[in-house]
Structure 1
Amino acid sequence: MHILGQVIAGNHDLIHKVVDFDPEQDQLLTLDFTAANTELTDEILGNIDQFSAWIDEKLRLDQARYGIGGYNEHRTIYSRSAHFDTGEEPRRLHLGVDIWAPAGTPVYNFYDATVQSFANNNNYGDYGATIILAYDIAGYKFNALYGHLSLASLNNLEEGMQIKAGTKFAELGNKDENGCWPPHLHFQLIEDMQGLKGDYPGVCKFSEREKYLANCPDPELILRSTFF
């Protein structure tokens, strides 16, 4: 088990939700964005409104409150943005978990944290409004990146400010402020920020998979405390 899993297991009662969810009533739908999903045509991916409608319809048919998934997933959907195609090898391997839900969905802090940094990464296909929080749980230090937020989520933030566990600190952004994506939260854990602020790769080259996964533990280690 990853050390984070051990830490979370030992502090389970102190871990709060990331989004509102009642495991007794609400449903999750795992969404697949690999080449195995042949429903997602280039036409759908090339039109943000069609892409959003496809996700909404999937959630409606499954009566699911959220779509979820994506960690260590080799995704074809990043071909929609040149942001992921720099260099000889495109970036396609997803390093976080995505939670698909309507714009305005509240995002909560799962444990006491401080603001490491924040930024508006407003390239097409990028994170849009982004907040990175720093955590120390029983001596294990790491960061969590929250991407695709509303621009209003960045208001009144300062580096180093404290955000208590259970606090609503952000909301999901719409397509005009979240990097032009269907509304969702990109939730990624990062041990070493490698000197970066306001940004960290959420998608890497497949050839660098092991290096990045070693630095980015599975966010399900946090999410399973409130989702499963």
Structure 2
Amino acid sequence: MDQHQKLKTYLHNHPDAVGKVVDYKAGTDRLCALDFTAANTELTTAIIADNQQFTQWVGDKLKANNCRYGIGGYLEHRTIYAVSAHFDTEDEPRRLHLGVDIWGADGTPIYSPFDGVVHSFQDNNNPGDYGPCIILQHNLNGLTLYSLYGHLSRKSLDGLAVGQSIKKNEQIATLGDNTENGQWPPHLHFQLMFDIEGKFGDYPGVCKHSEMEKYKRNVPDPGLVLGF
């Protein structure tokens, strides 16, 4: 049984072990699917390149659709990264998104969906980067799983310590605004990894399309945990 199947089996057999990542009521809260591929011609390069315009665009979409959160992104080939040199490489730009984004208001509480410990954290303070980021480590009946939370508020890192115990449904952070979260509209980048590959407070959230199969083996669909 590979790691993906072990994770699916664990989640199926232990539904009570899985908590929330954000506050969400399935019966009343609506989710808005946001498309950041080339198919979305409404979202122009000019809007994406302007922090305030992009934030306004996302907010208007959520309001118009009466949605609490915007959602989407796993293995989405995104054109929005073309505005940031952070995603450029010499041979092939990084465009394939490896996490699920949850777009909402800055200050939105973020929680750990499992018991675990703080693996690492840091402020990746570069335009287009994660900004403040926390990585947790979980032991799911012998299966090691890491969860990553990017684009947080800077105060989310205050008082954290490597190895610190975290409980399921414990609030670990809040969403940052676009002045502190890597210059993005407020949202959470939520990602899962089986192997952290020696990284500390950081792990690629966007990869080259040519490396998709490699990363798919290590990065399972976060929707398995989110359950939206």
User: 1-side partners of 2:91 and 2:176: how far apart?
Assistant: 32
Structure 2 partner of 1:11: 14
What amino acid maps onto 1:160 in structure 2? G
User: 2-side partners of 1:87 and 1:191: how far apart?
Assistant: 28
Gaps of 5+ in 1: none
What amino acid maps onto 1:216 in structure 2? V
Is residue 198 of structure 2 the alignment partner of residue 209 of structure 1?
no
Give the 5 Å matches for 1:10-89. Answer: 10-89=13-92
TM-score by length of 1: 0.97
Structure 2 partner of 1:198: 201
TM-superposition CA deviations, 1:23-81 (whole Å, max 9, x none) = 00000011110100001101101101110111111111110000000000000000110
Deviation at 1:137, TM superposition (A): 1.1
Is residue 123 of structure 2 the alignment partner of residue 136 of structure 1?
no
Deviation at 1:3, TM superposition (A): 2.4
TM-score by length of 2: 0.97
Give the 5 Å matches for 1:108-187. Answer: 108-187=111-190
What amino acid maps onto 1:69 in structure 2? G
User: 1-side partners of 2:16 and 2:143: how far apart?
Assistant: 17
Deviation at 1:2, TM superposition (A): 3.1
TM-superposition CA deviations, 1:96-119 (whole Å, max 9, x none) = 000000100000111101000000
SS in 1 for 2:28: coil
What amino acid maps onto 1:148 in structure 2? H
User: 2-side partners of 1:6 and 1:184: how far apart?
Assistant: 29
User: Identity across aligned pairs (percent)?
Assistant: 55
SS in 1 for 2:93: coil
User: 1-side partners of 2:197 and 2:114: how far apart?
Assistant: 22
CA RMSD of aligned residues (A): 0.8
Gaps of 5+ in 2: none
SS in 1 for 2:188: strand
User: 1-side partners of 2:100 and 2:210: how far apart?
Assistant: 20
Deviation at 1:87, TM superposition (A): 1.8
User: 1-side partners of 2:46 and 2:168: how far apart?
Assistant: 42
What amino acid maps onto 1:41 in structure 2? T
Is residue 221 of structure 2 the alignment partner of residue 218 of structure 1?
yes
What amino acid maps onto 2:10 in structure 1? V
SS in 2 for 1:149: coil
Deviation at 1:93, TM superposition (A): 0.2
